[in-house]
Amino acid sequence: MSAEKILGDWKNKRFKPVYWLEGEEDYYIDKVMHYAEHDILTESEASFNLSVFYGKDANWSDVVNACMRYPMFAEKQVVLLKEAQQMKDIDHLENYITNPLSSTIFVVSHKEKTVSKATKLGKLLKKNAELFLSEKIKDYKLVEWITDYVKSLEFSMSAKVVLLLADHLGSDLNRIVNEIEKITLNLGQRKTITEDDIEKFVGVSKEYNAFELQAAMSKKDLAKAIRIIQYFESNPKAAPIQLVLPALYVFFSKLYIIFGMADKSENAVKPLFYNNPYAAKEALATAKMYGYEGVERALLLLHEYNLKSVGVNASGISDGSLLKEMVVKMIG
């Protein structure tokens, strides 16, 4: 069952006794839990019929006792168990899950990992609960997800702006949502998010960022790459080396994959680059420019300078100097 299906059922007053939300992606779990806490019950109903527990501090018997109570002045009561992965003796919930109370809506968030389906608890959840697995979004779907989310807010942004956000924020959906909502709140009547907005409200320079450094290196534009790194030196928070190196490593790793593909057409390569045809076309051009040996050498250099960035064989050398040295070797 998806998060949208669960929320759709709840909006139509269709409830199951137990909902178990698990997985590595916090965004959808938080979204469902927020609705359960704030929207299933009215404000007056919640004062008597909402119980919230946290796994680290909760005793399993207190949670079960809360679930076994009957609602007051309402048809349903809601019991929430947050961060259940931190709860001791969580398997003691098995007896309640075996025979839950129909007037209780018990919602559990179990983040970071899943309960093994081979355990007794796992088998009970599969049989007696509505299970929702919240998986990390795949890289190739990230641009599409950002685009769709922005559209759902009735805003728009160019493909380059989407890529800039994806490159800077990664696949942390909660962070992406927070940054986009911060931007939209500051746009007034305007409905288009621009590079200037990203620079102003997210703090990513439209000219000097990890994405533009990657673009310069893709074209072997050493002068531009050095200018960008000099900007990083003057603005250490703009793009720390711990952010730049992994971003470049991901990019060159994808180029390396291309050389092993039987079909190297733009359409075949596109899924590696967020299904963006422009990014796929640029990647193919970069792969051709560097060649197999050049891409392999770039990956080895990225590994070497990642070690140097944490002090291995390079103590006392600034991050900017390391980046410049590495880029000269890669482009040269």
Q: Which of 156, 149, 197 is nearest to 176 (CA)?
A: 149
Q: Which of 229, 174, 184 is nearest to 207 (CA)?
A: 229
Structure-token match 């942390």, residue found: 172
Q: Is the pLDDT of residue 1 over 80?
A: no
* Residue where one domain finishes, among candidates 116, 134, 152: 134
What is the C-alpha to C-alpha distance for residues 63 and 49, in angstroms, rounded to an integer?
13
Is pLDDT larger for residue 12 or for residue 210? 12
What is the structure's pLDDT at 145?
92
Instruction: Specify whether 69 is located in the same domain as 101.
Output: yes
Instruction: Specify whether 103 is located in the same domain as 169.
Output: no
What is the C-alpha to C-alpha distance for residues 110 and 85, in angstroms, rounded to an integer?
5
What is the structure's pLDDT at 170?
78
What is the structure's pLDDT at 162?
87
Q: Is the pLDDT of residue 332 over 80?
A: no
Instruction: Specify whether 100 is located in the same domain as 147.
Output: no
Q: Is the pLDDT of residue 314 over 80?
A: no
Structure-token match 């007794």, residue found: 120
Classify residue 270 by its DSSP letter.
G
Average pLDDT over residues 318-331: 93
Lowest mean pLDDT among 246-250, 297-301, 310-314: 310-314
Average pLDDT over residues 220-228: 94
Specify the CATH number for the domain of residue 18: 3.40.50.300
Residue 323 binned pLDDT confidence (cut-offs 50, 70, 90): very high
Instruction: Specify whether 98 is located in the same domain as 157.
Output: no
Instruction: Specify whether 45 is located in the same domain as 109.
Output: yes
* Residue where one domain finishes, among candidates 134, 151, 173: 134
Q: Give the chain's domain count.
A: 3
What is the structure's pLDDT at 239?
79
What is the residue-wise DSSP string for 34-88? HHHHHTSS-HHHHHHHEEEEETTT--HHHHHHHHHSPPSSSS-EEEEEESGGG-T
Is pLDDT larger for residue 275 or for residue 88? 88
Specify the CATH number for the domain of residue 190: 1.10.8.60
What is the structure's pLDDT at 209?
84
User: Average per-residue pLDDT in the chain?
Assistant: 92
Which long-range CB contacts under 8 A does 151-155 form with residues at least 24 apart?
Answer: 153/180, 153/181, 153/184, 154/191, 155/184, 155/187, 155/191, 155/192, 155/193
Instruction: Specify whether 318 is located in the same domain as 214.
Output: yes
Instruction: Specify whether 103 is located in the same domain as 127.
Output: yes
What is the structure's pLDDT at 163?
80
Q: What is the pLDDT of residues 66-91, one digit of tens each?
A: 999 999 999 999 999 999 999 989 99
Average pLDDT over residues 16-24: 96
What is the structure's pLDDT at 43?
93
Lowest mean pLDDT among 80-84, 96-100, 234-238, 260-264: 234-238
* Residue where one domain finishes, among candidates 134, 150, 166: 134
Instruction: Specify whether 159 is located in the same domain as 125.
Output: no
Instruction: Specify whether 128 is located in the same domain as 70.
Output: yes
Specify the CATH number for the domain of residue 319: 1.20.272.10
Q: What is the pLDDT of residues 138-192, one digit of tens each?
A: 877 888 899 999 999 999 998 888 888 887 787 889 999 999 999 999 999 999 9
Average pLDDT over residues 93-113: 95
Instruction: Label residue 157 exposed, middle or buried (CB < 10 Å: 0-12, 13-18, 19+).
Output: buried
Q: What is the pLDDT of residues 179-218, one digit of tens each?
A: 999 999 999 999 999 999 998 998 888 788 888 899 999 9
Quote the percentage of the chain above a pLDDT of 90: 73
Q: Is the pLDDT of residue 54 over 80?
A: yes
Instruction: Specify whether 44 is located in the same domain as 76.
Output: yes
What is the structure's pLDDT at 317?
87
Q: Which of 90, 110, 92 is nearest to 24 (CA)?
A: 110
What is the structure's pLDDT at 276?
80
Average pLDDT over residues 104-120: 93
Instruction: Specify whether 270 is located in the same domain as 165.
Output: no
- Which residue range forms the structural domain that includes residue 247? 210-331
Q: Is the pLDDT of residue 223 over 80?
A: yes
- What Å distances lie between residue 251 and 260, 278, 284, CA to CA? 15, 14, 12
Alpha-carbon Rg for the chain, nearest whole angstrom, is 25
What is the C-alpha to C-alpha distance for residues 109 and 284, in angstroms, rounded to an integer?
42
Instruction: Specify whether 9 is located in the same domain as 127.
Output: yes
Quote the percentage of the chain above a pLDDT of 70: 100
Average pLDDT over residues 121-139: 91
Q: What is the pLDDT of residues 231-244, one digit of tens each?
A: 899 888 777 888 88
